[in-house]
Structure 1
Amino acid sequence: MSGSDLRLLALDGGGVRGLSALMILEQLMEAVDPDAPPKPCDYFDMIGGTSTGGLIAVMLGRLRMSVADCITAYLSLSDRVFRKTQHRVTVKGQVQGRFDADELARAIKEVVKQQGLPEDALLKDAPKAGCKV
Structure 2
Amino acid sequence: MVYTTVTKHPNGLRLLSLDGGGVRGIMGLVVLRELILRIQKRKGLNEMPRPADYFELAGGTSTGGIIGIMLFRLRITVDDTIADRFDAASISKAVHEVVEKYGLNKNDKKLKGNAPLQHKAGAQI
TM-score range relative to shorter protein:
0.5 to 0.7
Contact 2:24-2:86 at 8 Å conserved across structures: no
TM-score under structure 2 normalisation?
0.56
Matched letter for residue 51 of structure 1: S
Aligned to 1:56: 67
Q: Which sections of structure 2, spanning at least 5 residues, go unmatched?
A: 1-8, 96-125
Where 2:20 maps in the other structure, the secondary structure is: coil
Contact 2:24-2:85 at 8 Å conserved across structures: no
**In 1: Cα distance, 2:19 partner to 2:28 partner:** 8
Per the TM alignment, residue 14 of structure 1 is displaced from its structure 2 partner at its CA by 2.1
Which one of the candidate residues 10, 21, 45 is aligned to 2:17?
10
Matched letter for residue 8 of structure 1: L
**In 1: Cα distance, 2:53 partner to 2:33 partner:** 14
Structure 1 runs of 4+ aligned residues shifted over 2 Å read none
TM-score under structure 1 normalisation?
0.53
Contact 1:15-1:52 at 8 Å conserved across structures: no
Where 2:12 maps in the other structure, the secondary structure is: coil
Aligned to 1:40: 51
Matched letter for residue 15 of structure 2: L
Matched letter for residue 63 of structure 1: L
Q: Which sections of structure 1, spanning at least 5 residues, go unmatched?
A: 85-133
Higher Cα radius of gyration: 2
Give the paired residue count.
82
Between structures 1 and 2, the one with greater helix share: 2
Which one of the candidate residues 30, 35, 40 is aligned to 1:28?
35
**In 1: Cα distance, 2:68 partner to 2:80 partner:** 13
CA RMSD of aligned residues (A): 2.7
**In 2: Cα distance, 1:54 partner to 1:63 partner:** 13
Contact 2:22-2:28 at 8 Å conserved across structures: no
